[in-house]
Amino acid sequence: MLTLAILLPLFASLALAVRPAWNETMARLIAMAASGLSLLMLVIVWMGFDTGADAPAFQAVGELQWIPTLGVAWRVGVDGMALAISLMSGLLFLCALAWPADYKGRARQYYAWFLFLQGVSLGLFLTLDLLVFYVFFDLSLVGMYFLIGRWGHGDAEYAALKFFIYTLAGSLAILLAILGLVLANDTLTFDMRELIAAQPLQGVDIRSSLVLLGFLVGFAIKTPLVPFHTWLPLAHVEAPGPASAILAGVLLKMGTYGIVRIPFSMMRETFAAYAFPLAIVAVVSILWGAIVALGQTNLKRRIAYTSVNHMGYTVLGIAAAGAAIGGDAARSLALNGAITEMVAHGLITGALFLMAGSFWQRTGTYELSAYGGLARVAPKLMIGFFLAAFASFGLPALAGFVAEFQIFAGTFAVYPWLAAIGLIGILITAALFLSMLQQIFFGELADQRQGFADLNRTEVGFLALLLALVVLIGIYPGWLLAMIETGSAFLPLQGTEG
């Protein structure tokens, strides 16, 4: 099932690429069918997923030898973390494909690149082979590069180039770190399960520190953390709305997922030694992202900087979980919160960027000053935007609150001062969203906005699907937390209670 979830979008992408006779309607139907079937495969795996106390660490495992002499194989499998993020990603891809966009006369190619990106993104989350992980990591850059460069607007080509160069530099750092980690093991293998068990680089020395630095720099660029975030706002502003939703909702999670899956799991002692500096960087990202977002006058740029802020929350939880101090329960709570934040942020910010794309489709501008009074003509858009914004700054009974509560509750037991400082970011985030909502939807309606169209039936349907999950996780998070805990329970938490 997992292999099918990866290959179905890739095969459909290839079919769209080689069949120029297919028109926009046919291309859309094929893309929706392939994306939907891929998501269905993941749902089937979820239905059979064991969340019991004695559940195996990885489930639905499949393996096919590829390069035996190097210890490389097609290995797939899921723990709760990978399954939760993959389900969120599959759903967000389906919604993004269905969302209206300007195809610029190249609908078939647009859908082909989107499906390619879905296949390689799911491949990254579902693989259990470190080299295959790296291959999918690099291929995801290609898909997003073309979506931004060919279907973006404004200075799209420069934005695509900056995105590609920055993230490629990060991937090269990750490749060097992978080689350093694998070659330190007694047996040549890229099997993640074996490397987690073996802990090839134990202790803290120059070699282990450099390998960890390679991983953290590479994944920090992808996440992104300050000061490696400068590629993100431009890429978001110039990308089409659906591509922005995938960039924020899925591709950024590759960074935080990678931190948990590789250095956190495979380099316990070294990660614990550097957890505090990582937590400081996370808090800087929280505050910097929120403060800079507050000063933005561009709708998309403001939402983009909130992603820097929210990914800071995620990394703060990961750092607290990997520390060598604090009780096991608190550190486990921080890790579960970080994983929950990945899912919640994907749903919430994905919805925000889809709606931001609708603004561009209707007016051709993201400038906040160009709007006002839209509540009178677009009540559906207003309800969706308010709900997603409230969830983003952590209003109780919504998904953002569940994630942030766990992160800060766990972090307070480990780094109380950092947690207290990080809470300031929530206040700033609330201020920036409320001021933005007030400016867009309240006040007088400008004459040029009299004909502003509300969300259509397709947009309402898929947006409602995303936001319904945001509410469900906020009201009843138990089903998601049970899944996530199955994934994080086996991850060793360093140290003893301090």
Q: How do residues 439-496 score in pLDDT, each as one tens digit? A: 999 988 887 888 899 999 999 999 999 999 999 999 999 999 999 988 664 555 544 3
Tell me: the pLDDT tens digits for 404-443?
999 999 999 999 999 999 999 999 999 999 999 999 999 8
CA dihedral 123, 124, 128, 134 (to 10 degrees): 120
pTM for the whole structure: 0.94
pLDDT tens for residues 253-281?
A: 999 999 999 999 999 999 999 999 999 99
Using DSSP's 3-state secondary structure scheme, residue 272 falls into helix
- The amino acid that residue 51 corresponds to is T
239 vs 82, 153, 226, 305, CA distance in Å?
Answer: 27, 7, 21, 15
User: How confident is the model over 199-226, as a mean pLDDT?
Assistant: 93
Query: Do residues 403 and 470 lie in contact, with contact meaning Cβ atoms separated by under 8 Å?
Result: no
CA–CA distance, 119 with 110 (Å, rounded to integer): 15
Strand partners of residue 62: 76
Residue pair 456/336 in contact (Cβ under 8 Å)? The answer is: no
